[in-house]
């Protein structure tokens, strides 16, 4: 396959500009924190693009866009949650309080924030461990998304594409890419915005307009029913039948897991602390809403519409045209059906989307290793030589783990037709929601949560999620094989029917498809409240200190 020259030129140009901006930031004082007190004026556009670039990654565009090609426009419920919950609710109700409390307690990471609020080293170390051990899964699928784009667009074998991307990331990280330099993030966000708007415009144009495109997709419904009808698919412009396998995957894992989990994402929570005041949060809501619509809204609409274009060209729906590799659908669609120049712009768009998120993830994992685990355990101050080594070791180990997962996951799961990127993201988001969200919201809004309540709730959320992934949720339990080895079946909620293990179904509940979040999150809330009611409350002095400057 011929490598598009324009793509290479744009990728190199992008990397040179990124390198220049990172180097400038490395030498100067252009981090978010510096802007906060230096009194310099920063344009809200720069701030919003920077947020958006951290929020949205190749996971959202390539992974969930591919999932939309499979499940249909029902994924737009996730876009709605991303905008309404992830931006509007989060910035108004969590952002300002997190900033005020975080600054007063002098917390710099999400685990440290929780640890100081609940006066518990255990919470800080436990939260740091959850991030350190499980965020590589999310980072891995983000890297996988970028490598898929390079693989398809540049015609490189997947391992080579992954190696190339990992090389760029490693270089970026060593060049100071973890410093959260505003202008590099803003550059990446701006590229993403322009690329995605162009993608939507050209897709609708190709299909004769908005209504015409939708109508043609609606008319293709019989193809979806023919292939996935038994699992509940009714076409790409309808929700799956309530209570079917497809409905449970779409609603419980993809929409709810990610839509709610975004509220407790460590790398996003720390962003609230880097703003100058509530005014910046208000301004970011305006642009953040538009940005998320242009990212996930476009990816999900284009992903679903790609079925029409693939079908009219090849006689196959997207899923089959991509040989069941769900994560290849968006890169294939862009490469095959968009003008070469747009394909090149989108490659850079997706590289930007991946790198901006990956850098914030390594920031979170590095600080989890150094500050939240090593410093909290040893009492070493920040900047100590050993602490720096712990941070660097943490980053190197999570880099290796993330890249290894990005290499292994497609080999293990691609042929089964699983939306790997979307599922990997949903697992991490769901885990964060169950382990962190009840105590995080409680930390900001109530004085009634006790230390024991916070710990018990968080542990419940984590352990129930882990149990559910290992023994109940069949996609994971089957792959991890522990359930098979211990109990001789792929999931505890399956039974033998005609020599094969089939799902146990209670009414509309298809148990092996129920996401861990659906069980672990409510249980974590209940345990947090119940244990807090019967255990010792904090002294007023501690609570007054935590809520300093925050209205009751």
Partner 1 sequence: MIAGVMILGLHPSIALVYLLCIAATILCVVYGAINWNKGERAPDEDDQKWVADEDKLEEEL
Q: Which of residues 281-300 bind partner 1 (CB under 8 A)?
A: 281-290, 292-293, 297
Tell the smallest beta-carbon distance from residue 228 to partner 1 (Å).
Answer: 16
- Give the count of residues interacting with partner 1 (CB under 8 A): 72
Pick between residue 90 and residue 422 the one whose CB is nearest to partner 1: 90
The SS3 call for residue 509 is: strand
Query: Binding to partner 1 (CB under 8 A): which residues in 75-104?
Result: 76-77, 79-80, 83-84, 87-88, 92, 96, 102-104
Tell the smallest beta-carbon distance from residue 93 to partner 1 (Å).
Answer: 12
Query: Binding to partner 1 (CB under 8 A): which residues in 383-402?
Result: 383, 387-388, 391, 395
Pick between residue 270 and residue 329 the one whose CB is nearest to partner 1: 270
Pick between residue 79 and residue 491 the one whose CB is nearest to partner 1: 79
Q: If residue 494 lies in a helix (H) or strand (E), which one and from where to where?
A: strand 494-497
**Alpha-carbon gap, residue 497 to 483, rounded angstroms:** 18
E strand residue ranges, 431-541:
494-497, 500-503, 505-506, 509-510
Question: Counting contacts by CB under 8 A, is residue 211 touching partner 1?
Answer: yes
Tell the smallest beta-carbon distance from residue 218 to partner 1 (Å).
Answer: 5
**Alpha-carbon gap, residue 27 to 212, rounded angstroms:** 52
Dig out the tokens for 57 from the structure: 């990654």
Pick between residue 104 and residue 489 the one whose CB is nearest to partner 1: 104
CB 350 within 8 A of CB 151: no
Pick between residue 146 and residue 239 the one whose CB is nearest to partner 1: 239
Please identify, among the stretches 66-74, 402-410, 460-468, 505-513, the one whose residues bind partner 1 according to the rule CB under 8 A. Answer: 66-74
Among residues 52, 213, 343, 430, the one that binds partner 1 under rule CB under 8 A: 213
CB 513 within 8 A of CB 474: yes
∠ CA 247-83-181, rounded to 5°: 125
Question: Counting contacts by CB under 8 A, is residue 219 touching partner 1?
Answer: yes
The SS3 call for residue 70 is: helix
**Alpha-carbon gap, residue 347 to 182, rounded angstroms:** 22
**Alpha-carbon gap, residue 365 to 380, rounded angstroms:** 18
Query: Binding to partner 1 (CB under 8 A): which residues in 507-546?
Result: none
**Alpha-carbon gap, residue 162 to 385, rounded angstroms:** 33
- Over the window 235 to 254, marking each residue x when it contacts partner 1 by CB under 8 A and - when it does not, the resulting string is x-xxx---------------
Pick between residue 185 and residue 476 the one whose CB is nearest to partner 1: 185
Pick between residue 273 and residue 439 the one whose CB is nearest to partner 1: 273
Among residues 40, 230, 277, 400, the one that binds partner 1 under rule CB under 8 A: 277
Query: Binding to partner 1 (CB under 8 A): which residues in 100-159?
Result: 102-104, 106, 108
Dig out the tokens for 541 from the structure: 């002095």
Question: Counting contacts by CB under 8 A, is residue 212 touching partner 1?
Answer: yes
Among residues 9, 171, 197, 210, the one that binds partner 1 under rule CB under 8 A: 210
Pick between residue 285 and residue 435 the one whose CB is nearest to partner 1: 285
The SS3 call for residue 527 is: helix
Query: Binding to partner 1 (CB under 8 A): which residues in 300-359?
Result: none
**Alpha-carbon gap, residue 260 to 245, rounded angstroms:** 21
Write the CB contacts of 309 (distance below 8 Å, at least 6 apart in sequence). Answer: 203, 206, 207, 333, 337
Q: If residue 505 lies in a helix (H) or strand (E), which one and from where to where?
A: strand 505-506
Pick between residue 68 and residue 431 the one whose CB is nearest to partner 1: 68
Query: Binding to partner 1 (CB under 8 A): which residues in 24-53?
Result: 31, 33-34, 36-37
User: Other CB atoms closer than 10 Å to residue 29's CB: what's the count?
Assistant: 10
The SS3 call for residue 277 is: coil
Dig out the tokens for 205 from the structure: 């144009």
What backbone torsions phi and psi does residue 244 show, to the nearest 5 degrees?
-90, 175
């Amino acid at each position: 396959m011929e490598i598009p020259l324009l793509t290479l030129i744009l990728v190199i140009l992008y990397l040179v500009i990124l390198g220049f901006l990172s180097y400038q930031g490395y030498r100067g004082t252009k981090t978010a924190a510096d802007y906060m007190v230096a009194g310099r004026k920063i344009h809200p556009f720069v701030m919003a693009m920077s947020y958006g670039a951290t929020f949205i990654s190749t996971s959202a565009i390539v992974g969930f866009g591919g999932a939309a090609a499979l499940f249909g426009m029902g994924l737009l419920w996730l876009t709605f949650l991303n905008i309404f919950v992830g931006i509007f609710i989060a910035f108004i109700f969590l952002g300002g309080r997190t900033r005020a409390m975080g600054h007063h307690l002098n917390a710099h990471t999400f685990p440290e924030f929780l640890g100081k609020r609940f006066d518990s080293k255990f919470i800080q170390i436990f939260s740091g461990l959850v991030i350190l051990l499980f965020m590589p899964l999310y980072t891995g699928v983000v890297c996988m998304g970028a490598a898929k784009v390079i693989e398809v667009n540049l015609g490189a074998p997947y391992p080579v594409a992954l190696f190339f991307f990992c090389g760029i990331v490693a270089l970026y990280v060593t060049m100071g890419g973890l410093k959260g330099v505003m202008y590099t993030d803003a550059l990446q966000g701006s590229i993403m915005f322009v690329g995605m708007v162009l993608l939507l415009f050209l897709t609708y144009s190709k299909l004769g307009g908005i209504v015409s495109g939708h109508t043609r997709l609606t008319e293709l419904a019989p193809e979806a029913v023919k292939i996935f009808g038994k699992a509940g698919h009714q076409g790409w412009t309808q929700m799956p039948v309530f209570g079917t396998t497809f409905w449970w995957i779409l609603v419980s894992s993809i929409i709810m897991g990610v839509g709610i989990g975004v509220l407790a994402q460590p790398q996003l929570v720390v962003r609230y602390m880097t703003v100058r005041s509530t005014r910046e949060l208000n301004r970011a809501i305006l642009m953040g809403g538009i940005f998320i619509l242009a990212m996930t809204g476009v990816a999900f609409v284009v992903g679903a519409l790609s079925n029409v274009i693939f079908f009219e060209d090849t006689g196959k729906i997207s899923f089959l045209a991509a040989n069941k590799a769900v994560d290849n659908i968006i890169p294939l669609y862009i490469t095959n059906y968009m003008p070469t120049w747009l394909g090149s712009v989108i490659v850079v768009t997706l590289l930007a989307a991946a790198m901006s998120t990956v850098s914030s993830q390594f920031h979170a994992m590095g600080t989890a290793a150094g500050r939240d685990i090593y410093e909290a355990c040893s009492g070493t101050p920040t900047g100590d030589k050993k602490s720096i080594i712990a941070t660097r070791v943490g980053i190197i180990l999570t880099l290796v783990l993330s890249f290894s997962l990005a290499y292994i996951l497609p080999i293990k799961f691609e042929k089964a037709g699983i939306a790997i990127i979307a599922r990997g993201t949903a697992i991490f988001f769901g885990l964060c929601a169950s382990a962190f969200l009840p105590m995080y919201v409680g930390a900001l809004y109530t004085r009634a949560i006790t230390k024991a309540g916070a710990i018990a709730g968080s542990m419940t959320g984590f352990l129930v999620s882990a149990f559910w992934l290992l023994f109940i949720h069949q996609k994971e339990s089957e792959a991890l094989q522990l359930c098979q080895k211990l109990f001789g079946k792929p999931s505890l909620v399956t039974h033998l029917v005609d020599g094969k293990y089939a799902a146990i179904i209670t009414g509309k509940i298809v148990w092996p498809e129920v996401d861990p979040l659906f069980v672990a999150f409510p249980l974590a809330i209940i345990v947090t409240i119940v244990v807090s009611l019967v255990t010792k409350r904090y002294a007023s002095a501690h609570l007054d200190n935590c809520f300093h400057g925050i209205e009751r």
